[in-house]
Amino acid sequence: MGAVTEQPDASWLTAATVMVVAGKGGVGSSTVAAAAAVAAAREGADVIFVAVDGRPGMGTLLGGREISDREQTVQRMKGGGKIRARSIPAEQAFGDYLELKGVGGLLRRAASSASLPMIAAATPGLEHLLVLGKVKEMEKEAEADLIVVDAPPAGHAAPFLRSAIGLSDVVKSGPILDQATEVSEMLADPTRCRAMLVGLPEETPITEMIELANDLGDDLSIDLLPLVVNGCWPDRPGLAKSPAMAARSHKLKLTDSAKAALESAASFGRSRLAQQREQIARLESQRSEPVITLPRLATPRLDSDDLVTLADALIGAEFDEDMT
Amino acid sequence: MSRSEKRTPEEDQLASLTHVVKSSELILTCGPGGVGKTTTAAALGVAAARAGRRTVVVTVDPARRLADALGLDEGAASDQPHQVKGVTKRATDGELWALMLDAEQTFDRLVREQAGSRKQADAVLNNPVYKAISGSLSGAQEYMAVERLHQLHASGEWDLVIVDTPPSRHAIDLLEAPDRLVGFLSHPVYRTLTVGQRTFAKITDAASSMFLWAVKRLAGPQIVEDTVQFFRSLATIEGGLRDRAREVSALLRGDDTSFVVVSSPRAEAVSEAEHLLDAINDKSFPLGGLVVNLIHPEPTELSEADEQLLADLGDGPLAEQLAWHRELQSLAVAERLEIASLEKLAGAAPVIELPLLDVDIHDVPGLVGLADRLV
């Protein structure tokens, strides 16, 4: 299933310094972003996880405290790799930006959080641009080997990334235009930035993933990493048989109650697996990027062990065995 | 669902959205992304139409196939109500109409309505800053969703208006959108910028001149002129906007309004839905019901004797079947714990549980089937 590598290979994770992870709401893109951070850090990389629109609980899932605008080290790996995590509030990004431009205290006061909404209203997309601008500074200063950006969810990922381009329509000169230009350059340079899109193996999420891939990959010319289909049930060929038939291979005869109980789960499993195969095939037929499938974990509440499982699957380590 | 089997008929009535669909004038569906909010809104619309009501559903960013099912193609006219065919058959049935929210057109309509003259309206509408922000002003989409609701409600053409709220990790934004607009209009910098007819050069108020200087330094001089002009022209319609924001805020808390929270049993959705339910309680918005969607089926339990029979299986298809049974069962049990924590927050409001379906709902018969489960 999918273009799964034979040997675990984590090198693609750090092919570009900035990895923007995006998906529609509810597909688990924050979790996949966190798993990517874990997978890269295990290989010795120094990783910064940037939560743009921080969903609560991500900091603890990564092994630290709740993510805030203060950078914290959430996990240290044996091989020397580590994960730092932070959010980038637009206000703070703005302050840092002014500092960087050497603009004096007067401007800082004018741009204090009280009037930021006004300035943001006057320059649409500014908040997004400031956040991306901060990421760009981090990349330029080589603050980490990998900067994982957990992009805003739902319909907001494309506008988030498009902010830099959109701004140049309104803003014709000045530092904001410079910033927009520099961010656009970073986004379009595959050695500096790539995007990882996340979806689920169901009809609507796959359709939306294809649309997002067309949007970012083709229209915005952002280089795409493998497409990640999250929440895939491991293939279990044994489910294709009826419980009675399956029992025969074990030289067992089932009671009617056992048959009924097993069938109540198997029938659901068969139809989910059929749908999953169909949707992944559709994704593969419509996009040329490789497809990585991540396992559906049988829990509604993920913990850090689950993150390790997902990290393994992301680099093709363990999930394959399950799939054969 | 096993829960409903234990319910008496009276409880069943309670545990459905029948009352909400029959008596509300406004319904807002809200919740985290990816849980079937739009589909639920459309199905509530079907249920209402079949209960004899003339209903319009306002959708935001529907999945393409659902949009097709509702007759909403990508044409510009999707901003206006279209009748959805094939929903109503009996003479006692009402009608179902649908439209897609277009934040910019809604904003334009609001400006035209509130402006004293066509000239005033054009001054705002043609300003480059207005053109840029009407679609992207942070929170604009949320505010426009409630504004559209107000427009439709006030038109008197509809028995029921259903609004599917924009996908937002912070669905609370929607509830606070009108108050935020009032806050924006009351901002001291905005106030000085819009008072009197002074030109930009003459603005002496410290905060405002600093604000403009900041914008000029950062984004160039042209945008400063446009910004000042924009705020000035907005001032002519400000009173209207302010009144409207207050009206909308009151409407959202009115007796004829119901909020329906939609969630899935996955932890990240549940924590967002809990946050939303808390906010609805805190701010005394009327909660009409809670829909928990995409629930995995709970397989029939294996008896103890059967468990023993299956205790020491070697590898093979039956072992796979057993492993799958256990996995699905533990997931189903864990999901039910998540649902229980949501239900507590729903208080007296009805809670509807809906299973994860094999295929997504993308046509009218599918919506009719869902409507029957909701009411």
The model's pLDDT over B212-271, given as tens digits with 9 standing for 90+, comes to: 676 676 666 766 677 677 777 767 777 777 888 888 888 989 999 999 999 999 877 888
Tell me what percent of the residues of chain A surpass a pLDDT of 70. 79
Point out the residue among B213, B271, B314 whose CB comes nearest to the CB of A250: B314
With cut-offs at 50, 70 and 90, classify the pLDDT of residue B56: very high
Element (H, E) at A309: helix A304-314
Q: What distance in Å separates the CA atoms of residue A179 and residue B247, rounded to the nearest whole number?
A: 40
Burial B71-86 (b: 16+ CB within 10 A, else e): bbeeeeebbebbebee
CB contact under 8 A, A258 and B270: no
Could you say which residues from 180 to 219 on chain B have a Cβ atom under 8 Å away from some Cβ of chain A? 184, 187, 189-190, 207, 210-211, 213-219
pTM, two decimal places: 0.82
For the residues B75-101, what does the mean pLDDT come to?
Answer: 84
Element (H, E) at A129: helix A126-140
Report phi then psi at A187, rounded to 5: -60, -35
User: At a CB cut-off of 8 Å and minimum separation 6, what does A274 contact?
Assistant: none
With cut-offs at 50, 70 and 90, classify the pLDDT of residue B1: very low
Handedness of CA A67, A68, A71, A72 (dihedral sign): negative
Q: What distance in Å separates the CA atoms of residue A167 and residue A122, rounded to the nearest whole number?
A: 11
Burial of B199 (0-12, 13-18, 19+ CB in 10 A): exposed
For the residues B82-94, what does the mean pLDDT come to?
Answer: 86
Kindly give the residue spans of alpha helices, DSSP state H, lying in chain B: 2-5, 9-14, 18-23, 37-50, 64-69, 103-114, 118-125, 128-136, 140-154, 172-185, 188-194, 206-219, 221-235, 238-252, 267-282, 304-309, 317-346, 364-374
Per CB-CB distance under 8 Å, the chain B contacts of A103 are 217
Per CB-CB distance under 8 Å, the chain A contacts of B215 are 119, 122-123
Per CB-CB distance under 8 Å, the chain B contacts of A300 are 265-267, 270, 331, 334-335, 338
Per CB-CB distance under 8 Å, the chain B contacts of A30 are 268
Per CB-CB distance under 8 Å, the chain A contacts of B142 are none
Q: What is the pLDDT of residue A115?
A: 52
Closest-CA residue to B171 (of B83, B277, B27):
B277
Could you say which residues from 316 to 375 on chain B have a Cβ atom under 8 Å away from some Cβ of chain A? 316-325, 327-331, 334-335, 338, 358-360, 362
Point out the residue among B222, B320, B362 whose CB comes nearest to the CB of A236: B320
CB contact under 8 A, A265 and B325: yes
Between A86 and A128, the higher pLDDT residue: A86
Cβ atoms < 10 Å from Cβ of B118: 10
Per CB-CB distance under 8 Å, the chain B contacts of A264 are 297, 299-300
Per-residue pLDDT at B72 exceeds 50: yes
Q: Helix B238-252 crosses helix B221-235 at what angle (to 10 degrees)?
A: 70
Q: What is the mean pLDDT of chain A?
A: 83
Per CB-CB distance under 8 Å, the chain B contacts of A52 are none
Q: What distance in Å separates the CA atoms of residue B72 and residue B86, rounded to the nearest whole number?
A: 15
CB contact under 8 A, A153 and B360: no
**Chain segment B150-204, per-residue pLDDT in tens:** 889 999 999 999 998 876 655 666 677 777 667 666 666 666 666 554 444 455 5
CB contact under 8 A, B207 and A115: yes
With cut-offs at 50, 70 and 90, classify the pLDDT of residue B133: low
Question: B175 vs A195, A206, A239, B27, B171, CA distance in Å?
Answer: 33, 31, 47, 13, 8
Q: Lowest-pLDDT range, A89-103, A114-128, B10-24, B73-87?
A: A114-128
DSSP state of A153: -
Per CB-CB distance under 8 Å, the chain A contacts of B221 are 173
Between A39 and A92, the higher pLDDT residue: A39
Looking at the DSSP bridge assignments, the partners of residue B27 are: B162, B258
Per CB-CB distance under 8 Å, the chain A contacts of B227 are 122
Point out the residue among B133, B303, B314 whose CB comes nearest to the CB of A257: B303
User: At a CB cut-off of 8 Å and minimum separation 6, what does B241 contact?
Assistant: B110, B114, B181, B185, B234
CB contact under 8 A, A204 and B360: yes
User: Does B128 lie at the interface with A, CB-CB under 8 angstroms?
Assistant: yes
Q: What is the mean pLDDT of chain B?
A: 81
Are A53 and A153 in contact, with CB atoms under 8 Å apart?
yes
User: At a CB cut-off of 8 Å and minimum separation 6, what does B153 contact?
Assistant: B25, B26, B161, B251
CB contact under 8 A, A265 and B313: no
Locate the chain A residue with the closest alpha carbon to B209: A110
CB contact under 8 A, B320 and A261: no
Between B175 and B89, the higher pLDDT residue: B89
For the residues A77-90, what does the mean pLDDT come to?
Answer: 90
Q: What distance in Å separates the CA atoms of residue B193 and residue B203, rounded to the nearest whole number?
A: 8
Q: What is the pLDDT of residue B272?
A: 85
Per-residue pLDDT at A113 exceeds 60: no
Are B192 and B203 in contact, with CB atoms under 8 Å apart?
yes
Locate the chain A residue with the closest alpha carbon to B213: A107
Locate the chain A residue with the closest alpha carbon to B62: A204
Q: What is the pLDDT of residue A169?
A: 62
Point out the residue among A107, A208, A250 whose CB comes nearest to the CB of B214: A107
Q: What is the pLDDT of residue B92?
A: 82
Point out the residue among A114, A249, A257 whose CB comes nearest to the CB of B306: A257
Q: What distance in Å separates the CA atoms of residue B58 and residue B79, rounded to the nearest whole number?
A: 9
Q: What is the pLDDT of residue B266?
A: 86
Locate the chain B residue with the closest alpha carbon to A171: B219
**Chain segment B285-297, per-residue pLDDT in tens:** 999 999 999 999 9
For the residues A267-274, what does the mean pLDDT come to?
Answer: 92
Q: What is the pLDDT of residue B201?
A: 47
User: At a CB cut-off of 8 Å and minimum separation 6, what does A209 contact?
Assistant: A23, A24, A27, A197, A198, A199, A227, A283
Per-residue pLDDT at A67 exceeds 80: yes
Q: What is the pLDDT of residue B178?
A: 72
Q: How many Cβ contacts (< 8 angstroms) between chains A and B?
A: 251
Locate the chain A residue with the closest alpha carbon to B208: A110
User: At a CB cut-off of 8 Å and minimum separation 6, what does B140 contact?
Assistant: B103, B107, B133, B134
For the residues B37-64, what does the mean pLDDT come to?
Answer: 91
CB contact under 8 A, A175 and B217: yes
Q: Is the CATH number of domain B2-181+255-301+324-374 3.40.50.300?
A: yes
Tell me how close the Cα of B215 comes to any Cα of chain A, in angstroms: 7
At B57, is the secondary structure helix, strand, or coil? strand
Residue from A58, A262, A323 whose CB has the most chain B CBs within 10 Å, to mutate: A262
Burial of A20 (0-12, 13-18, 19+ CB in 10 A): buried
Locate the chain A residue with the closest alpha carbon to B318: A246
Q: Lowest-pLDDT range, A201-215, B72-86, B121-135, B295-309?
A: B121-135
Point out the residue among B213, B223, B300 whose CB comes nearest to the CB of A110: B213
Per CB-CB distance under 8 Å, the chain A contacts of B299 are 261, 264-265, 268
Point out the residue among A117, A204, A249 whose CB comes nearest to the CB of B317: A249
Question: B264 vs B34, B35, B317, B370, CA distance in Å?
Answer: 8, 6, 31, 16
Closest-CA residue to B360 (of A146, A68, A207):
A207
Between A39 and B102, the higher pLDDT residue: A39
Q: What distance in Å separates the CA atoms of residue B329 and residue A45, rounded to the nearest whole number?
A: 38
Closest-CA residue to B107 (of B140, B83, B129):
B140
Per CB-CB distance under 8 Å, the chain A contacts of B133 are 121-122, 124
Q: What is the pLDDT of residue B20?
A: 94
Are B207 and B192 in contact, with CB atoms under 8 Å apart?
yes
Q: What distance in Å separates the CA atoms of residue A273 and residue A237, rounded to the nearest whole number?
A: 10
Q: Lowest-pLDDT range, A35-39, A73-77, A154-158, A272-276?
A: A154-158
With cut-offs at 50, 70 and 90, classify the pLDDT of residue B64: confident
User: At a CB cut-off of 8 Å and minimum separation 6, what does B311 contact?
Assistant: none
With cut-offs at 50, 70 and 90, classify the pLDDT of residue A168: low
Report phi then psi at B347, rounded to 5: 60, -125
Per-residue pLDDT at A323 exceeds 50: no
Point out the residue among B66, B137, B317 whose CB comes nearest to the CB of A241: B317
ipTM exceeding the 0.95 mark: no
Q: Lowest-pLDDT range, A22-31, A131-140, B188-197, B276-285?
A: B188-197
Per-residue pLDDT at A166 exceeds 70: no
Q: What is the pLDDT of residue B197?
A: 46
Q: What distance in Å separates the CA atoms of residue A118 and residue B223, rounded to the nearest whole number?
A: 13
Task: Give me A176's structure tokens.
Answer: 């904001």
A11-323: CATH topology is Rossmann fold (3.40.50)
Point out the residue among B166, B210, B227 whose CB comes nearest to the CB of A122: B227
Tell me how close the Cα of B157 comes to any Cα of chain A, in angstroms: 31
Task: Give me B293's structure tokens.
Answer: 């969607």
CB contact under 8 A, A174 and B218: yes
Per CB-CB distance under 8 Å, the chain A contacts of B327 are 298
Handedness of CA B50, B55, B60, B63 (dihedral sign): positive
Are B314 and B375 in contact, with CB atoms under 8 Å apart?
no
**Chain segment B320-348, per-residue pLDDT in tens:** 999 999 999 999 999 999 999 999 999 88
